[in-house]
């Protein structure tokens, strides 16, 4: 009985803002709201997203009339949304999560604003119709499998801010013909460009001190 009473007191002592709430839907987009910080994270739609999605920089939750800054696109937020045709990301967003757009095979292009500092692993994996993408100067690393299997990707701009290219980052990008690796990059991960079968040339700068196994395997 004493243990149960102690547990109840601990639960009551936890502020409501620290407890997880269910996602809320605002104008067709679902968010996880962090009330204490007044931050909103775009999250998955139970029915999936389709068409052209414009993410706002702020949202107001009618229940408490609080204005939240949209700071993150959560992991798996748009994963598998094969009816999503375009996405507009506002300058307020700083993080694109793990698998955020994985398998969005109708996306042809995406503009990542300079506010974004982190792009998670597998974020754009298997976006098979994505033809080009610009990575902003605010990003310092390309994580593992970020663009793996993007078979229509013909070009990509890697900024001087990037210091590492993760394992399988561009693996299976069969339409990629060339890529410029900036002098800021020091490491290229295992299988990073594996099966990039259209790649005809690549310049590796003197700054690179390690290249993982199979980095250019099957680049015929």
The confidence score (pLDDT) of residue 132 equals 86
Q: Mean pLDDT throughout 98-109?
A: 96
Q: Which of 1-10, 95-104, 201-210 has the highest mean pLDDT?
A: 95-104
The confidence score (pLDDT) of residue 16 equals 39
The mean pLDDT value of the chain amounts to 90
Dump pLDDT digits (tens) for 16-43.
Answer: 333 446 899 999 999 999 999 999 999 9
The confidence score (pLDDT) of residue 174 equals 97
Residues in the chain: 220
Paired strand residues for 33: 40
- pLDDT for 12 beyond 70: no
Token readout for 215 is 């980095």
The confidence score (pLDDT) of residue 155 equals 84
Dump pLDDT digits (tens) for 62-95.
Answer: 777 899 999 999 999 999 999 999 999 999 999 9
Q: Mean pLDDT throughout 150-165?
A: 93
Is 22 or 189 the better-scoring residue by pLDDT? 189
Whether pTM > 0.95 for this model: the answer is: no
Residues whose CB falls within 8 Å of the CB of residue 9, separated by 6 or more in sequence, listed in order: none
Residue 15 pLDDT level (bands cut at 50, 70, 90): very low
Is 40 or 3 the better-scoring residue by pLDDT? 40
Q: Mean pLDDT throughout 164-171?
A: 98
Beta strand residue intervals within the chain, DSSP E: 24-26, 29-34, 39-43, 50-54, 58-61, 66-73, 83-88, 95-96, 109-111, 118-119, 132-134, 141-142, 155-157, 164-165, 178-180, 187-188, 201-203, 210-211
Beta strand residue intervals within 8-166, DSSP E: 24-26, 29-34, 39-43, 50-54, 58-61, 66-73, 83-88, 95-96, 109-111, 118-119, 132-134, 141-142, 155-157, 164-165
- pLDDT for 161 beyond 70: yes
- pLDDT for 6 beyond 50: no
pLDDT cut 90: percent of the chain above it:
81
Q: Mean pLDDT throughout 183-192?
A: 98
């Amino acid at each position: 009985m004493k243990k149960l009473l102690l547990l109840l007191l601990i639960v009551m002592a936890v502020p409501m803002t620290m407890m997880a709430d269910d996602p809320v839907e605002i104008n067709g987009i679902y968010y996880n709201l962090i009330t204490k910080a007044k931050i909103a994270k775009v999250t998955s739609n139970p029915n999936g997203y389709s068409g052209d999605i414009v993410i706002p920089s702020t949202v107001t939750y009618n229940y408490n009339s609080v204005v939240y800054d949209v700071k993150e696109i959560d992991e798996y937020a748009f994963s598998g949304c094969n009816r999503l045709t375009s996405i507009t990301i506002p300058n307020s967003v700083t993080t694109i999560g793990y698998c955020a757009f994985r398998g969005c095979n109708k996306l042809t292009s995406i503009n990542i604003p300079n506010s974004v500092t982190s792009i998670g692993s597998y974020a754009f994996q298997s976006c098979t119709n994505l033809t080009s993408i610009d990575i902003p100067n605010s990003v310092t690393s390309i994580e593992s499998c970020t663009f793996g299997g993007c078979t229509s990707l013909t070009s990509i701009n890697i900024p001087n801010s990037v210091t590492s290219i993760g394992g399988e980052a561009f693996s299976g990008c069969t339409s990629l013909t060339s890529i410029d690796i900036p002098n800021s990059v020091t490491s290229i991960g295992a299988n990073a460009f594996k099966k990039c079968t259209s790649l005809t040339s690549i310049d590796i700068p003197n700054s690179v001190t390690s290249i993982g196994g199979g980095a250019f395997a099957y680049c015929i």
